[in-house]
Each structure stands twice: as structure tokens, then as C-alpha cells.
Amino acid sequence: MEHYVRSVFAILVLLLLQTTFVPFLSIGGFLPDVLLIWVVYIAVTRGQLEATITGFAVGLLQDAVTSQFFGLSALTKTLAGFVAGYFFNDNLTEQTLGSYRFLLVTFLSSFVHNILYYGIFLQGIQDALLTTMVEFSIAASLYTALMGVFPMFTFVRKYRFSQSL
């Protein structure tokens, strides 16, 4: 029960960061998605079902705060949590969190999230929809995976410290 309370607190802090501080980190109009990194973390540590539910809750909160296209973030983050949950292995949790695998899972989940998000969000444009969708998805996914380096380094240190004992 305690980890649920900590998870809700972490989600609220990350939502506050995503809506206030992260827009200042914009590069070329692309933003990293720190809430998606949290969903991937939940997927790697707790499994697919909890990541899917967390993705839906986080997406719904994000939709309520940003009010762009209500329900779109909930849908895409739910799917991203589901995809990231395939990489759950109880025996390799610390190793996955502290290695490049976490970045790969973050990139893949972010790419699935962004392909669906931009595919629906950019539906009204007449220009080459597929190329625009893929370009936006790759750029935003790379930026999100790059931000995933920070939690990865935290777990590298934690994993190496536990191995040295």
C-alpha cells in the first residue's frame, strides 16, 4: 500500500514538472515526456498490468491538466505501458533499470506512444501525414530516451553498490 502512495506522489510531482518546467527544455518544439518515463519504470519494476493502469491514470491526469485533446494521452500512455510491460522480468529488474535496456524500452514505448498520438493529433493536416508523423515520433522519442539517462544512472549506481556488498 505504501508504494501506491509514493507512486501517486511521484506522479503528481512529475505532472507538475511536465507542465511547468519541461516546456523550457523544448528543442525544436519537441519535449521529453517525463510521465512516460515513469510509466516505463513502473512497467519494468511491477509488470504489464500495473503499467497499463498507471499509463491510463497518468494520461487521464495529463489530459485534465493540458486540455488539448481529451482522452488522447490516456489512450496513448495506456498503450505505451502495455508495450513496456513486455520487458518485465522479475529476476532482471535492477539490471534492466541500470543499463542501456532501460533506454531501449523507453525509446520503443515512446515511439509507440508518439506514433499513435501524432497519428490522431495530426489527422487534419494535408501535407505528408506519414512522414510528418514518423519525423515527430522519432524526434520526440529520442528526446524522451535521452532524458531516461538520468534515472538510468541513478539505478546504475544503486545496482553497482548492491553488487559490491
- How does pLDDT run across 67-107, given as a tens digit for each residue? 678 889 999 999 999 999 998 888 877 777 777 888 899 99
Model confidence, pTM: 0.87
pLDDT tens-digit profile of 97-148? 777 888 899 999 999 999 998 888 877 776 666 777 788 888 889 898 988 8
What the block records as the C-alpha cell of 82 is 502495455
Overall size of the chain counted in residues: 165
Asked: is 2-19+33-160 a CATH 1.10.1760 domain? The reply is yes
What whole-number distance in Å separates Cα of residue 133 and Cα of residue 115?
Answer: 6
What the block records as the C-alpha cell of 136 is 515527430
Residue ranges per structural domain of the chain: 2-19+33-160
